[in-house]
Amino acid sequence: MATIVFVIPDQCTLLDLAGPVQVFEEARAQGAPVVLSYVHYQPQAVSSAGLAFAPVPHFATVALEAGDLVLIPGIADESLPSTEEEAYPEFYAWLRTLAKRGVGLCAVCTGAFVLGAAGLLRGRACTTHWQHVGALQHAFPESRVLADRLFVHDRGVYTSAGIAAGIDLALALVEERFGALLTYRVSRRLVLYYRRNGLHGQVSVYLDHRNHLHPGVHLTQDYLLDHLAENPTLEVLAAVAHCSPRTLTRLFRQHAGLTINEFSTKIRTEAARTLVATSGLTRQAIAERCGFRDPRQLQRLLARAV
């Protein structure tokens, strides 16, 4: 069970906090083994929009270990720190201790200045809101601030661009820990399009072949994703899409760019690959969960997909 701690600083930007919170809460609802927690390090916490937060525990009361995450939202310009000597040295020391322990440290937007004040951007690549790229580089010259990036990960430290990019970072963190299928389901539930980082080396089978506007084909693709173990027949899928099997076969190829069987095989193989890497289940159990006849068929498809 991983703990996701959200730091609530004074003058934080609401969407920087609420966006990632909602992503992880939905991941939890979809079965991800996470616990969400909230902490403070200042006497009060009022958002930059004037919304006051209820009291939350002090950061020092939370026990974290490797694999947990701490996320710091953006802060209004006038409240940005530049050096750890300015204030709250105990909090910055806590962040450094967590980094050494293997806890992931994440910053949305200008939250990167907090990580910089803790000395955690030194020698690392990072990013922030486009309006603050120059200021971040000036404040922390030993960092390497990258512009035009949704998010950057460098040795356990995650930073993202402004505001809504925190949602993209949160989705990337969910995928990193719990796989692409759960991430797809989270983004679909939240009516989000998952924009991966431009340097991400892996395409997502769950997003491929979805760049079309045909509702019946989308319904079919959603049904296949939600019924991996069943391997539904063409007749069942046609009923889902409210058309004949022949029409669905034609429409699917026309709009998705591949056959129904090809799409089904791709998503079941990718789901199996994720389970092999993360679940500890036997090959027999994975084959059954992903709709394959037996482990031998699964192994052949995994080998072919490499």
Residues forming the active site: 109
Using alpha carbons, list the distances in angstroms from residue 175 to 113, 151, 192, 245, 301: 25, 14, 14, 34, 22
What gap in Å lies between CA 244 and CA 228, rounded to an integer? Answer: 22
CB within 8 Å of 121: residues ≥ 6 apart: 112, 115, 136, 140, 142, 143, 157, 159
What gap in Å lies between CA 41 and CA 44, rounded to an integer? Answer: 8
**Tokens, residue 272:** 């199996």
Q: 104 exposed, middle or buried (CB, 10 Å; 0-12, 13-18, 19+)?
A: buried
Q: Residue 19, SS3?
A: helix
- Looking up tokens 């990019």 gives 165
Number of neighbours of residue 202 by Cβ within 10 angstroms = 8
Using alpha carbons, list the distances in angstroms from residue 22 to 3, 15, 129, 232: 15, 10, 21, 32
212-217 own/partner pairs: CB under 8 Å, 24+ apart: 212/255, 212/256, 213/255, 214/251, 214/255, 216/241, 216/242, 216/243, 216/248, 216/251, 217/241, 217/248, 217/251, 217/252, 217/255, 217/256
